[in-house]
Amino acid sequence: MEIILASASPRRKELLAQIGLEFQIQVSHVEEKITATLPQRIVEELSSQKAEAVLQSIPAGKEVLVIGADTIVALGHRILGKPVSEADAVNMLGILQGQTHEVYTGVTLLHRSAAAWGGNVERKVFHEVTKVYFYPMTEQEIAEYVSTGDPLDKAGAYGIQGLCARYIKGIWGGL
């Protein structure tokens, strides 16, 4: 069975490689449409859109597992996606610094059996939530971090795996 990651995310690629999966990457170019209002439902909805778009592009008759994922950051009722500019990243980090917030990741698994077995699609959609505790950051620290370019492709304008790790006081997952 072929496994396809419906994402260009280096972090997701790294996670799948760490557990020894052999997989292909096929980026979904679907226009994301959000109808949900709760963070956990938003990430589930977005991960499903990505996975379904990729599955539809794969010829029938082939057994495949498509993995779609999406992440957002929420501080109270405010939802932060990827920043659209450096100024947006500075603003997001300014809001998050010194605060505790939640990171929501939605995952969709679509398994399509071979056509000889009916080509049925099994679906599993779920989310995980992690609380992240940020140390306070100065304007200079925020500007220096943003100037690295690292936050520009990440929800909430940061990633705990990189340079921003020095500003993370703690994380707690599995809520």
Residues that are catalytic: 70
Residue 72 tokens, joined: 């957002």
Residue 88, CB-side half-sphere exposure with 13 Å CA sphere: 13
Task: Report which of 122, 108, 114 is spatially closest to residue 60, judged by C-alpha positions.
Answer: 114
Which residue is it, tokens 């998050």? 96
DSSP string, 124-156: EEEEEEEEEEEPP--HHHHHHHHHTSGGGGSGG
Distances (CA, A) of 66 to 20, 99, 153: 16, 35, 22
Q: Give the DSSP H/E element, type plus range, for residue 50.
A: helix 39-56
